[in-house]
Amino acid sequence: MPTYKAPLRDMRFVMHELLDSETVLGSLKGYEEVDKGLIDQVLDEAARFSETILQPMNQSGDAEGCTFKDGEVTTPKGFKEAFKQYCEAGWLGLDGDPEYGGQGLPKILAIATGEMSTSANASWSMYPGLTHGVAKTLHAHADDASKATYVPKLLSGQWTGTMCLTEAHAGTDLGIIRTKAEPLDDGSFSVTGQKIFISAGEHDMTENIVHLVLAKLPDAPAGSKGISMFIVPKFLVNEDGSVGERNTMMCGSIEHKMGINGSATAVLNFDGARGYLVGNINEGLRCMFTMMNAARLDTGLQGLALGEVSYQNALAYAKDRIQSRALSGTKAPDKEADPIIVHADVRRMLLTQKAYTEGARAFAGWLALHLDIEESHEDEKVRHEAGELVALLTPIAKAFMTDNGSTVCNYGMQVLGGHGYIKEWGLEQYVRDVRIAQIYEGTNGIQALDLMGRKVLKDGGAKLRLFGGIVEAFIKENADDEKMQEFTGPLAVLGKEVHESTMKIGMKAMTNPDEAGAAATDYLRVLGHLVYGYFWARMAKVALESDLSDSFYKAKLQTARFYYQRLMPETNTLLATMLSGSDVLLDMHVDAF
């Protein structure tokens, strides 16, 4: 039976010592009273809820799964009651606008609490996660009447929400969706079509579900420029805000999946369902990107969260399981064999788990803090730069964190050996649950194309130079610190290599766009290592300036060294493969495969 303990010490390290979030938030409008005491109190309560309410349902929810009958979905035992407790405590509206019933706390806190709930129960966390995204999207783009009708009910958890993009013939290519919206005399629309892979698309946890649906009007332009967004509630809403008659939409089935079995992944059929426009006609994709970008960050967080719980259980097993003697001599003479944690290869796996997980936590916290800066800083230039950084790093957060999360969960299972393959130990569930994170919200290959094409080459590398300037400033700041040379030296070299390789790929792509596509996935991974390398260097600096007799800081420094010596050198291979060109991929005729 797996266990979970919220990593509060490391979370506090990131928030208070690495990022100094109290000072940053204190300079932002609306967060002046968010101090260390409040942050710690929220973290403690989120840990308690995740450890005692959510985690005990994780394995049982996976085994039971969701059940479908006559268009209705029943969630696993305990899910509905836990959701009610979660909402009554105000967690869903943690960073929501107080004008609509939210608590108005910063996103960096929402990221931390979201990590805990996902580690404890990834399937369950999908329901509030998507609802949060719908509330944010409507808050940003809906008219005042729609916001007043839907946002408070979403932030309170009285209703939940979904995003409905995918169709059977159209995954990432939303420009070819077939769902139609016909205008009605009263200003609403009749929405018809089928959407698939809709997470939390049908369930029994709330009285209503608010679907954000992408559809096209009859005279819409072709492609993605003709997409509009509509609110299509499961039940229509009366003028007084109460739930009215059933809308003409139904759940046709739910998917039988590899993982996240407690989350209902639905096929939804809209048959002239009543819908209400969000934003302007033909600007639905722009509106949906508010939710998609938030979902991509949340998906990256799944890689971190499931990696954390996998690491915790692998570490506990490695300390307890005895097998063979250490190559350098007996370490536990009172036992018939040594604990497997003495073996170098087991330590390699555990340290990889630890390095990728703690690096992700630092990155996610920094990114969330910049979302707060983008939204609330009084200086327009500072807000703009924060937004540019978030735009650049979002595809890296989604892809690099989930690729690494999958690696971490696989290593967790590997540490347990044969027991890792057995359901009762729980490690195989984390492997199954995390695997979807590399696929949905835009596959990681799509994230790589987005990074290379839209975020780097499209603006001539302006966003990349902005982040590069931050890295360079840190390197210069520590140029005279001999203890930091083992980190700043390789970081400077990698920064230079990123700059030079970006120029080479950009030049080749000007005459052959396939060059960018061929390099994109390796390029994203190189940038991911630059990002993690920067944060591990910063964490090493904090550790070096602290009391290294404290085991926490000593471990932090040692993990930073492991990252630089054993993980970041992967970039040497990646730089070679991403510059090898597109011919080796595209010259082979289709019939030769």
Query: Catalytic residue positions?
Result: 441
d(CA 302, CA 435): 10
CA separation, residue 546 to residues 362, 482, 538, 561 (Å): 18, 16, 13, 16
Contacting residues for 143 by C-beta, under 8 A, at least 6 apart: none
d(CA 461, CA 567): 26
**If DSSP codes are grouped into helix, strand and coil, which group holds residue 189?**
strand
d(CA 502, CA 516): 10
d(CA 280, CA 286): 10
What does the block give as tokens for 320? 């307890």
d(CA 495, CA 505): 16
Could you give the angle at the alpha carbon of 155 between the alpha carbons of 298 and 192, nearest 5°? 80
Phi first, then psi, for residue 72 (nearest 5°) are: -115, 150
What does the block give as tokens for 30? 């609306």
Q: Looking at residue 120, what DSSP letter applies? A: H
d(CA 512, CA 516): 8
Given CA atoms 118, 120, 122, 124 in this order, what sign does their dihedral have?
A: negative
Identity of the residue numbered 498: V
One-letter-per-residue 3-state SS of 360-408: HHHHHHHHHHHHHHHHHCCCHHHHHHHHHHHHHHHHHHHHHHHHHHHHH
Burial letters 304-323, b for 16+ CB under 10 A, else e: bbbbbbbbbbbbebbeebee
